[in-house]
């Protein structure tokens, strides 16, 4: 089977090269001098949350194709916030997930009380500065896309910019990417090389992560009982997108889901 993750990362590097030609890091740093917004802590929001649901705005995926192509980002993320989401994740990858900077900008304007995650495949420090300019509260670092040295350096840059870091792992080999200054650890139930999901694998891997880290479960979640079981295993957050986005009213679907798990 084609390595989907490698294809996405290769394309991402080409995208970034073009973006750097238009806007370089010094200019992004200059733009930051005008930014006055204070970030909302993702880690604190999850620790204080009753549901732990991180609701994702997601138009499509490589495995499922288009989920909700005409979705209105403003109304949906506002409904997520009103329905009790602990945080919102917004995809900015266009080619494979149908997202973009315009979606993120609208999401940033629409919500203010809960943290906003820029969900993308970060392979260059340029994207971290870009995320801060866009108004993100945190970024996602995927261990499978990076070296341990890149993970450490990108985490340091993110913290200098007052961004929190969600480190995503999927295998026992990637446990070595976990460093003390990582804010939150996510375990992806979906193998990003094959896009198959396995909750049992997630639980086994979580048991090898120190309890001092706040852990979230990502991808393939739809059954309220599964979320309850994962919470009993020590998980504090649950990143979900497709389960809500495939419905006509994602915010209402989220509200009904939360009522079943709290």
Query: CATH number for the domain including 141?
Result: 3.20.20.70
User: Tokens 């304007």 correspond to what residue?
Assistant: 109
Query: What is the pLDDT, as a whole number, of residue 183?
Result: 98
Helices (H), the chain: 4-22, 25-32, 42-48, 73-82, 101-110, 126-134, 148-160, 199-206, 224-232, 242-245, 250-261
Number of domain units in the chain: 1
Q: What is the C-alpha separation between 220 and 175, in angstroms, rounded?
A: 21
Query: Which residues, given as ranges, of the chain have pLDDT below 70?
Result: 1-2, 192-195
How does DSSP classify residue 189? S
Query: What is the pLDDT, as a whole number, of residue 38?
Result: 85
Full residue range of the structural domain in which residue 86 is found: 4-35+42-261
Query: What is the pLDDT, as a whole number, of residue 1?
Result: 36
Dig out the tokens for 247 from the structure: 């419905």
pLDDT in tens, 211-243: 999 999 998 899 999 999 999 999 999 999 999
What are the residues whose beta carbons fall under 8 Å from the beta carbon of 91, sequence distance 6 or more?
Answer: 56, 57, 58, 59, 97, 98, 99, 103, 119, 120
Tally of CB atoms within 10 A around 80? 28
Query: What is the pLDDT, as a whole number, of residue 220?
Result: 87
Q: What is the C-alpha separation between 190 and 179, in angstroms, rounded?
A: 23
Per DSSP (E only), the strands in the chain are: 53-57, 60-61, 65-66, 87-91, 116-119, 138-142, 164-169, 184-188, 214-218, 237-240
Query: What is the pLDDT, as a whole number, of residue 2?
Result: 54
CB 226 within 8 A of CB 199: yes
Pairing of strands 65-66, 60-61: antiparallel
């Amino acid at each position: 089977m084609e390595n989907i993750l490698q294809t996405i990362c290769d394309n991402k590097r080409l995208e970034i090269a073009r973006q750097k030609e238009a806007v370089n890091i010094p200019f992004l740093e200059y733009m930051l001098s005008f930014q006055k917004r204070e970030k909302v802590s993702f880690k604190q929001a999850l620790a204080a949350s009753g549901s732990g649901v991180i609701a994702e705005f997601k138009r499509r995926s490589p495995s499922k194709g288009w989920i909700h192509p005409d979705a209105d980002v403003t109304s949906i993320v506002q409904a997520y916030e009103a329905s009790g989401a602990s945080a919102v994740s917004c995809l900015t990858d266009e080619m494979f997930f149908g997202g973009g900077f315009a979606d993120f900008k609208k999401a940033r304007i629409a919500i203010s009380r809960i943290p906003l995650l820029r969900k993308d495949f970060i392979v260059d420090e340029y994207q971290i500065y870009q995320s801060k300019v866009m108004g993100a509260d945190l970024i996602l670092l995927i261990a499978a896309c990076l070296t341990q040295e890149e993970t450490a350096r990108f985490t340091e840059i993110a913290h200098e910019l007052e961004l929190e870091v969600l480190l995503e792992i999927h295998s026992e080999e990637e446990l070595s990417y976990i460093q003390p200054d990582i804010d939150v650890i996510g375990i992806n139930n979906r193998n990003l090389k094959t896009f198959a999901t396995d909750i049992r694998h997630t639980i086994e891997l979580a048991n090898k992560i120190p309890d001092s880290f706040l852990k979230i479960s990502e991808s393939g979640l739809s059954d309220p009982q599964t979320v309850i079981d994962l919470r009993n295993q020590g998980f504090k957050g649950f990143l979900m997108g497709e389960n809500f986005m495939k419905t006509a009213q994602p915010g209402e679907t989220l509200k009904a889901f939360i009522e079943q798990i709290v």
